[in-house]
Amino acid sequence: MDKYLKETKMLDYSNANIQQLIRERRWKNINEFERLKSIYDFVRDEILFGYNIDDNVPASKVLADGYGQCNTKGTLFMAILRACNIPCRVHGFTIDKKLQKGAMTGVVYKNAPQNVFHSWVEVYFEDRWYELEAFILDKKYLQKLQEKNSDCKGAFCGYGVAVKDFKNPIIDFDRNNTYIQSEGINQDFGVYDSPDDLLKAHHQEMSAIKAFLYKHFGRHLMNRNVKKLEIAKFLFIKLIKESRCVFMDKITTIKQSAKSILTGNIESAKNLINKEYPFKKLKPEGRSYTDKEKYEQFVRDGFIDRYTGEKLVNPGLLKVLSYYMPDAFPYQSHWKMEECHSAYWELVPTIDHIIPIAIGGEDNPSNYATTSMLHNSVKSNWTLEQLNWKLYPAGDINEYDGLTDLFVRLIENDLELFDDPYIKRWYKLSVGMK
């Protein structure tokens, strides 16, 4: 069984965040059955259904994203299982793309490959292998899908589901196999020791152009289709409102170009587009800053949201409020809007690239700006000019410190707060920077 417990490049369970998660959940302190069931439930319900940038991302990246699909959630599931001494392997397949219809729509669905790469995890427990697939879809997503299709009495295929009994799919683990997409399988690649080995032998068949479009366009549309959080709706509406004046300015260029084509002058249309609305090739995303570097930026900016001029708060302080008032000020590790206080979106600072990396911006402090998680999500890969935003001046840390001094005093007044790794991490950063 040793090979089914091995750490790999993708199953990077030594990662600090994965190890911290294991400690917080105390998975190593409970019996094997409860451990397996708890890990399964965590990956299914707390890692949301969504589409990552690629199938080959490591487990630590999936955890950081907070979402994934069959292959990527499976990678995280396997990494945690192996870190907790539960042997596991991966089984590769392809599924018919019709299973993804609904999540994929329009041009994305039309151009998607007919056979979509798929996998599930097989776990060795009590002297037998269990096939576990239903961790792919979180329960709330499935429940909403069932509500939307309440008239379905039997089989269902679409939105990431392919089962014989849509109303009562087998999704809970209790010493049984679980399935949610198995009825869509059309090709079996067999079992592999790790996702690394599986992807060396098989992968999603897709042209370079289509792969690029998926990473930078298609997957975002797919995530929008499956996104169930209210924040998604809010962010999209806000983006449209704030950018409408900019996009409307481009209409004239499009209109004139179309009229040139109408008169047979395609070259003139092309020249106009190249001059007034040129195509800009996106670069792969990339970020390389630590918590310490983030905190240093927050201090430099005086805990001011550089896109609004509004004050932000030391992240640790909000977590202290959640510690004392979990019902009134709830915290959820992936900030699900239905389970987490909106202050975490509105007041927690993060770093954003003023000029997005995707369009050529540098990944260094000269291109950093402190902003809220909310405005970071809204801005995405848009420029300030496209959104009609401006960059506000940094604040003075001596005039406003993000309530850091108050946060430190709260910790030193109740040392039991150190039991919370999140609070402890921000306390150390805060004290170190005082």
Query: pLDDT: is 180 or 235 the higher one?
Result: 180
Place of tokens 């509500």: 147
Amino acid at 142: L
pLDDT at 372: 92
pLDDT per residue as tens digits for the range 121-152: 999 999 999 999 999 988 888 888 888 888 88
**Range among 54-58, 226-230, 246-250 rated most confident:** 54-58
Q: Which residue has the higher pLDDT, 215 or 313?
A: 313
Confidence band for 104, pLDDT divided at 50, 70 and 90: low
- Within 10 A of 422 (CB to CB), how many other CB atoms are there? 18
Q: Which H or E run contains 107?
A: helix 106-111
* In the predicted structure, residue 220 carries a pLDDT above the cut 50: no
DSSP code for 158: E
pLDDT value of residue 400: 92
Which pLDDT score is estimated for 225?
44
User: What's the pLDDT tens digit per position in 11-43?
Assistant: 999 999 999 999 999 999 999 999 999 999 999
Burial of 366 (0-12, 13-18, 19+ CB in 10 A): exposed
Rounded distance, CA 342 to CA 374, Å? 9
pLDDT (tens digit per residue) in 371-387: 998 888 888 888 888 78
CA separation for the pair 428, 423 (Å, rounded) = 9
Predicted TM-score of the model (pTM): 0.51
Q: What is the predicted pLDDT for the residue at 228?
A: 40
Q: What is the mean pLDDT of the chain?
A: 82
pLDDT per residue over 234-244, tens digit each? 444 444 444 44
Is pLDDT at 229 greater than 60 in this prediction? Answer: no
Mean pLDDT value of segment 401-424: 90
Residue 221: pLDDT band by 50, 70, 90 thresholds? very low
